[in-house]
A and B are shown apart, each in its own frame.
Chain A
């Protein structure tokens, strides 16, 4: 098992957001997590990546080891990757330099030699084709002045270069027009492999037309309330999330725009 989550709870400032999440993900699988705003999808992604703002209880095993005990940078070099919903700008830090630094941290962990600037450039150029990025991106500062679509493509490029074992994509489709969505999705599909697991968090079904999941889970009020195959996503598209929210215990409806 690549990822095993048991009774994962998370709260911030005494407010419960995750209320007992259980999930199993195997290598090679693609899982979609869907749900309304405020259901805890993004919190789940942040907690798995090691964000320290939350009080966390429960158990998360990654390749059999206690993921929650690792600091974020260790999770990253062990192969856990989060494609951020809102990637931050880092002015003055070159995109290329940033990515090479990150890759060399991962390579160090894997016992590989550091890549020098020339070798790295060759690798980056090759991977940039996956997301149809041109080289001018690499000389700009990390995410500074990028459009919404550009930041998302940049996230997928980083994933393609860092080659994680477990990639979590947090609403990578939000804010994308149809062309950008297609580019991002085909980049993700190119990275599907037997060794790699993907957890795709999305609000809408349309991304799943491009990235076809093995399993679909519905989150509501901090729990996974239903799981199924790809047909579940279509059902949700038709009926919406309202049924699930009423089903759950403590099911006060959360206003859209709360923690998602």
Chain B
């Protein structure tokens, strides 16, 4: 091993900094998955009958499914009966919660994560829905948003307060029969965020959800539903962390976006779940279904993701381009280090005329990491004049990691234009030496080169997130040349 490699290995072996556990008094469901557990979750949330029915239908369908094995990721069997499906920090006061009543321990935990739950302290104009394990513990700026007609609340609250909207849109993009993990989620989901931007409203601040897994042996199954009516606009951010544990934890979320005519939804994720240790012990299984529907003409949905965490990431934020002239975008940086595995990409389904989609994927593999881009561009017969441009670049750091690309293209209309570009490069000793010869130390050089590689994607992130993403990337380059 050369000196450069040794140094890189040392400087990048930093610990996961969000790996702490907060001692919260927790209300848990018994371990295991069965109808009683689902009924228990539903009753804890005081759900209406239709919601319980939906869950049970999903559960019964789940029993008929087999866990998928086509993804390019390898892991031992998951014991679904050994998972706790509901865990909630016990509220210290009874009755309706206001932000002032949030358990100070919870507030302290979020402060430690750099997330402020106080509205006054928040200068940056971002509203936050904070979710711990299975429940939302508080949503900021709710009242201010309500003034312009924007609904931003926890999913549980939406079921109580806005049942018509939930019933109308829940499962309309990702039906409960969609896939194994989405079906599981539909049966046992516990909370999540709900956003509704009414016709003609440009949401005055960024909305965000911060997910935190705290309890051991729990799974997190949240559901996010965002609806932008005609001419509405919203930018939504999502962040997440979890404690360091030896055992794998399952995170199977579902996100549904609906954009009506001329509406725009921009959805950004910085995913930093605990990735496991150097030898691949522990870490989150991040099996997520994210899909948006451009239901109306001239609508636009844009996904930007920076995936640095999780032992295994398995997600394909997708767009169904139903409305004529609608636009779908997918910008992704996925980094796998040590024993991490990522199989991620997107699906762009062109249905409407003159629909356009852009895919830009940057995969970085280091250590023994395995990084797979998997993407589908499907042009239906009806999608006259549809266009897609895909670019998938991979960067390898070291020689024991891997990068894989599986593009699927299915064109059913002869007027469509589809372009696909791909490249794989290795972070070169030449690049590192060039930087060092100009006085830039090797660790700065490596992070400079990797950040340069990702720049086109970072440009798509909201400012604050872009800075965070850059920092995260530097920290995540553990043992990056081997």
Contact = CB atoms under 8 A, between A and B. Distances in A.
Given A52-B2, A90-B431, A105 B439 contact: yes
A106 interface: yes
Interface string B427-447: 011110111111111101000
Interface string A2-46: 000000000000000000000000000000000000000000000
B188 to A, nearest CB: 42
B448 interface: yes
B175 interface: no
A211 interface: no
B461 to A, nearest CB: 14
B281 interface: no
A71 B437 CA distance: 9
B439 A77 contact: yes
B438 A93 contact: no
Interface stretch (A81-89, A115-123, A185-193): A81-89
A1 B95 CA distance: 82
B159 interface: no
Contact of A93 (B4, B441, B451, B456): B451
Interface string A155-173: 0001000100000000000
25 contacts: A50-B436, A52-B3, A53-B429, A72-B433, A72-B436, A73-B436, A73-B441, A76-B437, A76-B438, A76-B439, A84-B437, A88-B428, A88-B430, A88-B431, A88-B434, A90-B434, A93-B448, A93-B449, A93-B455, A98-B438, A101-B440, A101-B444, A105-B439, A105-B441, A158-B438
Contacts of B242: none
Given A91-B452, A92-B455, A101-B444, A52 B4 contact: yes
Contacts of A87: 434
Nearest to A82: B437
Given A92-B452, A92-B453, A141-B452, A84 B438 contact: no
Interface of B: 2-4, 428-431, 433-442, 444, 448-449, 451-456
**A81, A92, A106 pick with most chain B CB within 10 angstroms:** A92
Contact of B440 (A88, A91, A105): A105
A106 B439 contact: yes
Nearest to B438: A102
A72 B437 contact: yes
A50 B435 CA distance: 12
A87 B430 CA distance: 9
A96 interface: no
A95 to B, nearest CB: 11
Contact of B454 (A84, A92, A105): A92
Contacts of B431: 88, 90
A209 interface: no
Interface string A36-80: 000000000000011111000000000000000001110111000
Instruction: Find the residue from B438, B439, B454 having the highest chain A CB count within 10 A.
Output: B439
A109 interface: yes
B448 A101 contact: yes
A161 B361 CA distance: 36
A90 B444 contact: no
Given A49-B437, A92-B452, 17 more contacts: A51-B433, A52-B2, A52-B3, A52-B429, A73-B440, A76-B437, A87-B434, A92-B454, A92-B455, A98-B448, A105-B438, A105-B440, A105-B441, A106-B439, A109-B439, A141-B452, A162-B439
